[in-house]
Structure 1
Amino acid sequence: MTSYLIGIDNGSQSTKVTIFDERGTPVSRGRHALRPTDTPAQGVVEHPDDDLWDSVAAACREAMAVFDGDPAAIVGAGLCTIRFCRALLRADGTLARPVLSWMDERVSRPYEHTDDSVARVTTSSGYITHRLTGEFRDTAANYQGMWPIDTDTWQWSQDRQVVESMGIAPEKLFELVMPGEVLGRITADAAERTGLPQGLPVVATANDKAVEALGSGLRGSEQLLLSLGTYIASMTTGERNIRDGREFWTNFGCAPREYLYESGGIRRGMWTVSWLRDLLGEEVTAGARRAGVTAEQYLDAGAAQVPAGSDGLMTVLDWLAPTETPHRKGSFLGFDGRQGRFHLHRSVLEGIALTMRDRAGALGDELGTGFERVIVSGGGAGADVMMGIVADVFGVPAARTAVTDAAGLGAAICAGVGLGRFAGIDEAVAAMVSVDEEFLPDAANHELYARQLEVHRDITRHTDEVFRRSAQIFG
């Protein structure tokens, strides 16, 4: 009898739940958008009400409603949620206040206990685990940042100074398990809310980027993953816990004692693509209607006709400034009358690729490795024009996988390995991850982009002073 694995992918913009067979084929999907975050004060960014749990429950119900297999053949679910969130819980596990987004300034600071109703402090994965299973248990691999975690042992630190510096009393922390271990089983209440079978094992994964890397088939330092999400990052894997990287930071991986090396990224990365689409408005939507395609497909088709380099139009993607340079702003440079809406779109895509080529190059140089292939994941990977730009900018083949929800597939892989359906992660990846298409670089375009990269990486050196001064006027 065919067996099935569920991948729960609670992302920054939506929750996606996919039921896979053991060959990695999606057989049922559910998706529920998250509500816009609340920003009641400067630096405060919260998920309203109980939105994370509501979205998980709704997406699970949708996936189960269209699943035409035998629910008894579903063997387990892997849980992956947004990283860097902070959830403050009462003693019964309900929210004492809305979940703090990864964009909230408070998550970059030690916890401050100002509400005596808070009995537990955890991540988004810890909170959703409790809602699904009733257990106060969480994956160790989603604790990066302001947590008293020992990144060598993957357990809570025993260093009293470290514990005190984080501000979280040990009794407020969840029990930690490793990726692939069972967090608990679906309770009767959770089964009613989600439609998932009562008693179904829920398996620990890691942080969302590590799970996405696993679901993309990233298994080796000669490969690079370019993750095109709300936050764009590039990453590779290794077994060393490198604490002092200059051009990257070390995160927990999706396998015990494996680490993810992540370059600097782009905040509001693919969000900028959507922002531009909406800004162009009816002009684009009307063209898309006439062509019988989506607005994104219309812009992609037009951008494919624009020459590499967008006739000199360059984009700096600081629509949400890096934390270390809060004065920066996003910018388009190089208008001279040749450019139109499709140049704008292509320039944003090129800005993404050029920025990440620069940052991935710094990552590889410091690790002493070169990348022979770029795997591209996220919604942007579905556009041929974006894939071609990535191949041309990086100068190596760019591959996209058959399953676009890499985090969901990675979560299902974790569940399959943890429940003994595969002998190990490499066997599971070989069975469940496949490449849809590979794009080869164009030599002439690569040479042009290599020259443009030298200019592009230097732009902020000239614009920083302008934006520093204008920030005193406009904020």
Structure 2
Amino acid sequence: MVEKYIIGIDGGSQSSKVVIFDLNGNEVSRGQERLQPMSTPDHGVVEHPGDDLWDSLCKASQKAMGSFPGNEEDIIGIGLCTIRFNRCLLKMDGTLASPAISWMDDRVSKPYEHKNDDVAYVTTSSGYITHRFTNEFKDTNANYMGMWPIDTDTWQWSDSDEVFDYYNIPQDMLFTIQDPGTILGNVTDKAAKETGIPANIPVIATANDKAVEALGSGIISSHSALVSLGTYIAGMILGQENTKNSKSFWTNFASIPGEYLYESNGIRRGMWTVSWFTDLYGEELTVTARKHGMSPEEFLNEEAAKSVPPGSDGLMTVLDWLPPADKPFKKGMMIGLDSRHTRAHMYQSILEGIAMTMKTNMDSMLDEVDQNIKEMVISGGGSNSDLMMQILSNVFGLPTKRNVTNGSASLGAAINVAVALNVYSTYEEATKHMVKVKDMFHPEEDKHAFYTRMNNEVYQHISAYTDGILRKSYSFFNS
């Protein structure tokens, strides 16, 4: 029997990843290309320079195809997943009228303002990349959260003139939208030449990046939760209802048509904070780690695991490196420093801060929906750390899985393709065959008890005491 293959694309915040899977979810080849640093020409403006979303994807695709050991004619489809909350303004021919607007840009949290007469279409990053691949003006409906005139009950454009007036996007400037698991178009000869991916392969609609990541993590049961350790850290569970006006979570489209994903409050610039910290130590840390045959992150993980107790000897990190728009005075901080503390303490305190913040956020969501979870799946680059995995298991008090494919958006995109093209008849069947567990971490009860007290009695109350002084200092440094 001839082996068939699926391409899963994950256009992330820091890099573009293209992974080729067999039909059992095994990775066959991959390519990855880092995005350029964001362009910030003005306060609140955050853009992807040039045509970086497409250019990086082309390079990643060429790498994946260059190392692909199979026959190109046996690739049956592409699942396309990209960053959510981006906004792309296109000319009539589908090219960019201006650089793609990042989810960190203030403009994406406001209705569209038509300031450039060259703009003929307003779409998402997935809409733009779909057009580059297929020359179609089509997009998945499940990547339209935020400032879009979409009816979240029907998954279609609103039929209310008032809604369109509020968002200020005429319907003729919007793409045709389709459900996840449907065919958006086929790879054109031009896109094939630029990416190295064969022409005429169908491009399949997926969803927003977090929903696709949840699918690729195997989250299809209400008893499982996902914590995604990315630039933005989020906690997610499946939901059947389009819950509105919730207090501790928001309702997102799932990657399975008609279903929803409940997403807790998260951490902006979450794992970015880890990268920021390792960069602070620069060449010294890099050289030391290299001598031990490790990356800087691997070296810090080992150093902390050997020498730092739970609670980091009283050092606590508050992860407000990118404050919310309604509380711009908030700042990241490390509190409790004394002479015992080393870089390993600082590093572990960041990981503990991530875990305790997400425990508080997830508990609030679960209490509101009256739901319990029995296990967690951890995805994203941060899940490569055994230390991070064990801290999360200890803080939550739950068995915690790390899958073989831990950057699971690419696999989730491939699962959408497998169901769309009838490789598997249901999403349950597809995830059973394609999602594989690599490691399981179990909570250490004494450490779970310690973290529970530390979080409930100390950590989650820090901001109540520090917000006042941060609010007063804000005017000194942000005039």
TM-score normalised over the length of structure 1:
0.99
Contact 1:7 1:411 in 2 (8 A): yes
One-letter amino acid of the structure 2 residue matched with residue 338 of structure 1: R
Once the two structures are superposed, the pairs formed by residues 208-247 of structure 1 within 5 Å of their partners are 208-247=209-248
Work out the percentage of aligned pairs sharing the same amino acid. Answer: 53
Q: Distance in 2 between matches of 1:119 and 1:107?
A: 18
SS at match of 1:255: coil
Once the two structures are superposed, the pairs formed by residues 36-185 of structure 1 within 5 Å of their partners are 36-185=37-186
1:289 positional shift: 2.0
Task: Give 2:406's match in structure 1, choosing from 399, 404, 407.
Answer: 404
SS at match of 1:69: coil
Contact 2:187 2:202 in 1 (8 A): yes
Task: Give 1:466's match in structure 2, choosing from 434, 455, 469.
Answer: 469
1:347-380 CA-partner distances (Å, limit 9, x unpaired): 0000000000000000100010111111100001
Q: Distance in 2 between matches of 1:76 and 1:99?
A: 26
Once the two structures are superposed, the pairs formed by residues 318-337 of structure 1 within 5 Å of their partners are 318-337=320-339
Report how many aligned residue pairs link the two structures: 475
SS at match of 1:451: helix
SS at match of 1:135: coil
Contact 1:37 1:46 in 2 (8 A): yes
Task: Give 2:425's match in structure 1, choosing from 423, 426, 430.
Answer: 423
SS at match of 2:207: coil
Residue 361 of structure 2 corresponds to 359
SS at match of 1:19: strand
> For structure 2, which runs of at least 5 residues remain unmatched after alignment?
none
Residue 208 of structure 2 corresponds to 207
Residue 460 of structure 2 corresponds to 457
Contact 1:220 1:238 in 2 (8 A): no
> For structure 1, which runs of at least 5 residues remain unmatched after alignment?
none
Q: Distance in 1 between matches of 2:282 and 2:124?
A: 37
1:175-200 CA-partner distances (Å, limit 9, x unpaired): 01000000100000000000111000
1:293 positional shift: 1.1
Q: Is 2:273 the partner of 1:286?
A: no
SS at match of 1:459: helix
SS at match of 1:237: strand
Q: Distance in 2 between matches of 1:230 and 1:331?
A: 18
TM-score normalised over the length of structure 2:
0.98
1:39 positional shift: 0.5
Once the two structures are superposed, the pairs formed by residues 301-312 of structure 1 within 5 Å of their partners are 301-305=302-306, 306-312=308-314
Contact 1:75 1:201 in 2 (8 A): yes
Q: Is 2:25 the partner of 1:24?
A: yes
One-letter amino acid of the structure 1 residue matched with residue 295 of structure 2: T
1:291 positional shift: 1.3
SS at match of 1:281: helix
Q: Distance in 1 between matches of 2:441 and 2:37?
A: 35
1:308-337 CA-partner distances (Å, limit 9, x unpaired): 110110000001112221100000011121
One-letter amino acid of the structure 2 residue matched with residue 379 of structure 1: G
Please tell me the root mean square deviation across aligned C-alpha atoms, in Å.
0.7
**Which ranges of 4 or more aligned residues in structure 1 deviate by more than 2 Å?**
none
Residue 315 of structure 2 corresponds to 313
SS at match of 1:8: strand
1:292 positional shift: 1.5
Contact 2:378 2:406 in 1 (8 A): no
Q: Distance in 1 between matches of 2:432 and 2:224?
A: 16
SS at match of 1:95: coil
1:239 positional shift: 1.2
